[in-house]
Homo-oligomer: A and B are copies of this chain.
């Protein structure tokens, strides 16, 4: 199950922080480490997990490797969540507003 990899990857707070950082724009592994109190191998391992889950893509550029959010992975979460739409409470209005915003 792909969802296994996705949720497992997101279960770790450090990996969610990395993912969130990447959501702000593409970045290489060294830049990601800035202000994160994490060793180089640990970062590399986390990125491998995120990549394996399809949440992040990599693109080698010289001796750097740039990472960015993979929309495919995000879409899979959205798809999974959509199955439980019946349980989204009133707060759903905020999400609707967001979608409306996207239309403009």
Contact = CB atoms under 8 A, between A and B. Distances in A.
Contacts of A4: 11, 13
Contact of A20 (B69, B83, B91, B95): B83
Interface of A is mostly: helix
Interface residues of A, number: 37
A94 interface: yes
What is the count of identical protomers in the complex?
2
B94 A84 contact: no
A4 B59 CA distance: 29
Interface in A57-81: 69-72, 74-75, 77-79, 81
Given A23-B84, A84-B74, A91 B79 contact: yes
Nearest to A85: B98
A21 interface: no
